[in-house]
Chain A
Amino acid sequence: MLNRVKLHFLALSVFGESSRHLATVLLSVLVIFILSSVLFISSSIKYTVTTALENEADMTVQRVRGGMLAQVPLSWEKDIVNIRGIDSVSPRVWGRYFTKPKGKSFLIIGVDFLDSNANKALSKIVGSTDLKKFLNAHNMLVSAKVKSWMKKRFYTDSYSFLSADGEFIKMNIYATLPKNSDLLSNDVIIMPIDDARKILGIKEGYVTDFVLNVPNDAQKVFIEDKLSSLHFDIRVVSKKESLAAYDESFNFRNGFFLTLFMILLATFSLILYQRYTQSYSTQKRQIGIYRALGWSIKDILTLKFYEIVVIILGSYVTGVGLAYIFVYIANAPVLRDIFLGSGNFSPDVVLIPVIDFSALSSIFLLYAIPFVASVLIPVWKIAVSDPKEAML
């Protein structure tokens, strides 16, 4: 296949004629860079969301009335616990609070500090916060984004919420939630369950929903069926469904990018095709000389093949490397906003390096196939150059 003599000639034709390849390589690196940046950002976000969801409960039980979510009576808890195979059922009180009818919104989560399950989860988040002290007054924990939003509006240490009954409830900002990479918590406010009830208008004896776990994977479908038949207005959402919903939304964004990228790719292919077709006239003679000196069409094609492989792999590694630096070290300025949106408290996310086989192989295929496809015919034309060229 490739002995040292041929390697030497490969090096001559790749590096000896680097001016011929320079533009191609630069263009390729740019294309790969854009493509991999987009895919890196999206797989990183996807990873963050998925891991966040992994930590969520397996199923959520809601109540639907007239097609809208309704408050769930606490009395359902008994029915749910009675089903075998269900583990750790906990009621949740949460909801959205809009600062103005069309303004920003917070996600208010009420925490029952007597519930040990919830406590454990919370102590993970708040860490050092002294819970007892926190509970003694109308205190809340807010995310860093929410805090800075409030500060801009001169609510430096408390905020007055307009409750569902039309009363103002003043909550003290007790502490800031630790800044982590969790995308889902950028607009979160955590407060004691009673205050949350008042602000969100959830009656005593009712909750927003229940979450529960099913330890045995094989039973999930079965338990979902059983839960669904408990009440006529019950709705069960499984973790898998929410994962699928997120997946779908990412696919949509990726699909959008891919469509844009296809246009870029088509341009890239056309330029490549043209470059290689033009290089025919300059290479015709050299290849003719090779042919006259005993190189067969196959020998030329082999040389050209390796030449292309070197260019493809070289640009691939460079492009992906640059994208890695751009996304995970420089944190993808500009591009990130397109993905995360800057609407409601755009999350201040640090992109976690996720290098998966999926993104890498996708990038490679999406770049290498059109590359080879656009140069294949020009290269064949060069390879069959007439050895008579050498006599002219």
Chain B
Amino acid sequence: MSPIVEIEGLKRFYNTPAERVEVLKGINLSIERGETLILKGVSGSGKTTLLSIIAGLDRPSEGKVLVEGEAIAKLPDNHLSHFRGRHIGMVFQHYNLIEHFSVKDNVSVPLVPMNLRYQKVGQRVEDAMKKANISHKSDMLAARLSGGEKQRCTIARAIVTNPEIVICDEPTANLDRENAIKFLDILKNLHNMGKTIIIATHDSIFESLNFSHTVVYMSDGEIEKSESIE
């Protein structure tokens, strides 16, 4: 089976009037279906940009990016957005919840463009909240949740579309140790469900991950080394 993410010669630069800032300098990476990949590196190493490009949030300046066999770099907006909605679940560093929506409404955001029936949306949201262990707060406003609850709400939102790929950007940065360990349990569940998981982090807690995964070290826009851990 072909890899779920294939990246070849990926470059990303910004042209400022004075100079050309290269954030990614030729990345080659391939991620297998069901693999868990941890991107490590100091801030500014290009982790977030790489994640954004895989998620289709940012566009590459050069190179080939295939996700699920689709060349997402040149997809028109409506196709790219729907691709993103269907295949990729996002867990953001700052949660990115809509503060004045309830948990339930937050979780249903990705389902809105899919033209699903109301009952079906309700069912899927219910399901996702149960998996992320947040059902008991379903009618609470997102603004009133604690940090850990916000995290779980974000995870429910990320898996509500049942995506193949879950992308997490610094997921434990705003969590205390106890909640971070809980997050690792959730990751394990996702892994057991067969999801491909990509995490950008510099938190050492991921060293205690107790299932097989790959760690990729990035620095200065390039991949330094990668190692598989059983």
Direct A–B contact in the complex, CB atoms closer than 8 angstroms: yes
**Chain A residues touching B, majority SS:** helix
* A214 proximal to B (CB < 8 A): no
In the complex, which residues 78-136 of chain B have their Cβ closer than 8 Å to any Cβ of chain A? Answer: 78, 80-82, 84-86, 90, 92, 96, 98, 100-101, 105, 108-118, 121
* A234 proximal to B (CB < 8 A): no
In the complex, which residues 49-73 of chain B have their Cβ closer than 8 Å to any Cβ of chain A? Answer: 51-52, 55-58
Q: Which residue of B lies closest to A297 (CB)?
A: B77
Asked if residues A391 and B112 are in contact (CB atoms below 8 Å), the reply is no
In the complex, which residues 349-392 of chain A have their Cβ closer than 8 Å to any Cβ of chain B? Answer: 387-388, 390-391
Alpha-carbon gap, A291 to B109, bound state (A): 10
Shortest Cβ distance from residue A387 to the other chain B in the assembled complex, whole angstroms: 4
Alpha-carbon gap, A295 to B109, bound state (A): 9
> A390 and B57 in contact (CB under 8 A), knowing A5-B111, A289-B98?
yes
Query: Of A9-17, A23-31, A66-74, A129-137, which stretch is located at the interface?
Result: A9-17
Contact for A292 among B77, B86, B96, B117, CB less than 8 A: B96
* A290 proximal to B (CB < 8 A): yes
Alpha-carbon gap, A391 to B54, bound state (A): 13
Alpha-carbon gap, A17 to B99, bound state (A): 11
Which residues on the B side are within 8 Å of A5 (C-beta)? 108, 111-112, 116, 118, 121
Q: Which residue of A lies closest to B80 (CB)?
A: A296
Q: Which residue of A lies closest to B77 (CB)?
A: A297
Number of interface residues of B (CB under 8 A): 37
* A263 proximal to B (CB < 8 A): no
* B179 proximal to A (CB < 8 A): no
Shortest Cβ distance from residue B92 to the other chain A in the assembled complex, whole angstroms: 6
* A221 proximal to B (CB < 8 A): no
* A293 proximal to B (CB < 8 A): yes
Contact for B85 among A3, A6, A17, A293, CB less than 8 A: A293
Q: Which residue of A lies closest to B157 (CB)?
A: A293
Which residues on the B side are within 8 Å of A9 (C-beta)? 105, 112
Which residues on the A side are within 8 Å of B118 (C-beta)? 3-5, 8
Alpha-carbon gap, A239 to B41, bound state (A): 90
Asked if residues A292 and B55 are in contact (CB atoms below 8 Å), the reply is yes
Which residues on the B side are within 8 Å of A296 (C-beta)? 77-78, 80-82, 113
Q: Which residue of A lies closest to B92 (CB)?
A: A390
Which residues on the B side are within 8 Å of A286 (C-beta)? 98
Asked if residues A391 and B57 are in contact (CB atoms below 8 Å), the reply is yes
Asked if residues A12 and B101 are in contact (CB atoms below 8 Å), the reply is yes
Asked if residues A291 and B81 are in contact (CB atoms below 8 Å), the reply is yes
Contact for B48 among A289, A387, A391, CB less than 8 A: A391
- Interface range, A side: 20 to 34
Alpha-carbon gap, A44 to B85, bound state (A): 56
Contact for A391 among B52, B85, B117, B121, CB less than 8 A: B52
Which residues on the B side are within 8 Å of A291 (C-beta)? 81
Asked if residues B112 and A299 are in contact (CB atoms below 8 Å), the reply is yes
Q: How many A-B pairs fall under 8 Å by CB?
A: 86
Asked if residues A297 and B81 are in contact (CB atoms below 8 Å), the reply is yes
Contact for A294 among B51, B85, B116, CB less than 8 A: B85
> A294 and B100 in contact (CB under 8 A), knowing A9-B112, A387-B57?
no
Q: Of B57, B86, B115, which is in contact with the most chain A CB atoms at under 10 Å from its CB?
A: B57
Alpha-carbon gap, A243 to B117, bound state (A): 58
Alpha-carbon gap, A16 to B157, bound state (A): 20
Which residues on the A side are within 8 Å of B36 (C-beta)? none
Alpha-carbon gap, A291 to B84, bound state (A): 9
Which residues on the A side are within 8 Å of B85 (C-beta)? 293-295
Shortest Cβ distance from residue A117 to the other chain B in the assembled complex, whole angstroms: 71
Shortest Cβ distance from residue B103 to the other chain A in the assembled complex, whole angstroms: 13
Which residues on the B side are within 8 Å of A3 (C-beta)? 115-118
* B169 proximal to A (CB < 8 A): yes
Asked if residues B82 and A294 are in contact (CB atoms below 8 Å), the reply is yes
Q: Which residue of A lies closest to B161 (CB)?
A: A294
Q: Which residue of B lies closest to A391 (CB)?
A: B52
> A295 and B92 in contact (CB under 8 A), knowing A387-B57, A391-B57, A391-B169?
no
A-B contact pairs, 15 of them (CB 8 A): A3-B115, A3-B116, A4-B117, A5-B111, A5-B121, A290-B109, A293-B109, A293-B157, A294-B85, A295-B112, A295-B113, A296-B82, A297-B78, A297-B81, A391-B51
Show the binding face of B for A, using Cβ within 8 Å. Answer: 48, 51-52, 55-58, 77-78, 80-82, 84-86, 90, 92, 96, 98, 100-101, 105, 108-118, 121, 157, 161, 169
Which 5 pairs between the two chains have the least Cβ-Cβ distance?
A294-B85, A296-B81, A4-B118, A296-B78, A293-B110
Show the binding face of A for B, using Cβ within 8 Å. Answer: 3-6, 8-9, 12, 16-17, 286, 289-299, 387-388, 390-391
